[in-house]
Chain A
Amino acid sequence: MNTTTSAGLRERVARIKITPAIPAVLMPLLQLFNAPPEDANINEIVRLVSYDNSIAAQCLRVAGSPLFGLSKPPKSISAAVVSLGLNRVKSIVVTCCMGQAFPEKKWALPPVVFWRHSLGCALVCRKFCEKIAGADSEKAYLAGLMHDIGFLVNSLTFPEKFEAAINHARDAQTPLNEAEQAAMGFTHSESGELLAKQWGLAPEVITVIAHHHDAEYTGPAQGLVATVHLCDLLCRMRDMGYGYYERHKVDMVNDPAWITLAKEHKDLEGIDLVRFTFELDESITEIRNLVALVFGGQPES
């Protein structure tokens, strides 16, 4: 990205008119959630979530999804914290806030496709980390959920160019980030990073947003970046991509990101990747239902 484009992009991102739609509770909640676990102020979190009735109600419904571990919605946010733990409630709250931050409108990328990919990636990241000792699965969930927010920036700020990129990627059946680079001179990684900084997201989530297409990334949060990179690829290979066929072959175990991750986590070798893939397929229906619940629209058949 050249300097002029970069400055123009930064200015446009700063002017994104999402403020009226963004739930007022999201920013203070993200601040609270960013605090170290020992400093977590549970009462304040419960109070803030409960403050916005529509978010609170949605959180309770989401908590009742099998994907989040309860068989029926809990009666209150504090009951959800007791049953599911603070970290999982955090995932639920941020998921619901994201749904409200970007209300469904005429996007270049169909919202249901975008959210299915984001939520699918979030859940696959969480599941993947549950298989690896010492990996923070809820952090991976949030990073997976947020990794593509740059698509929303591009959709809102550069609608024509972004639509051209999508159309090109769909016709040529190539990865969307490559088409973005060709059509716009930058990708959702860059625009997403700008928005993430503006929002004050956690530094490691910002790093994931900026580098999730860079398989060879090393540096701070490299394990998290590698996790999201791999789970993003896997989702795109299992019907949770951007809604079109990508002519793409993915060799996960020989991907540099996998090799990076394997250095940190010796037990990665033990993962049965084929079974993991089959299990991922089993979640697709639930993920579709959840997308309809949080982000609107009808569940796809």
Chain B
Amino acid sequence: MKTKTKERAEKKGREISVANLPPDLTIQDPQDYIRRVRSTFLAKVREKKGLDQDAVAKKCGINSDELKRIESGKVHEQDMMVLNTLAELYGIDYPSLLFMFKLAKLQTEETTLKMAAHHYQRIDDETQGKIMSFLEKIKESIQ
């Protein structure tokens, strides 16, 4: 039979242990996490822009199967030329795409916030737009 002290200790342990984090907060596999972010982020932004895969692929100089592979998160390496074209078409930060494909080491805070705003399901389009323009204003004032 467990003593109350032991139960408290276990409970406390669960509270502070990384292993006890709920599944949606645990990054079990960093590669898988990056893949999931890539796979949801790129397709979502393209759809929001109302662009179809064929048109985007053509602009990038690749075929639509290749774009599907990129959007599914199965591609670990990508040409910077393609990522730059995607960044321009989607209106997102080019270095952030490089970061997602492990071509850049650092991500700016601005990029992190933009990606979070794009990615967070509960923020509606209007709010996302406000966040984006607010970040742009900050950026301009710094420059």
B partners with A: no
Which residues of A come within 8 Å of B, CB atoms?
A: none
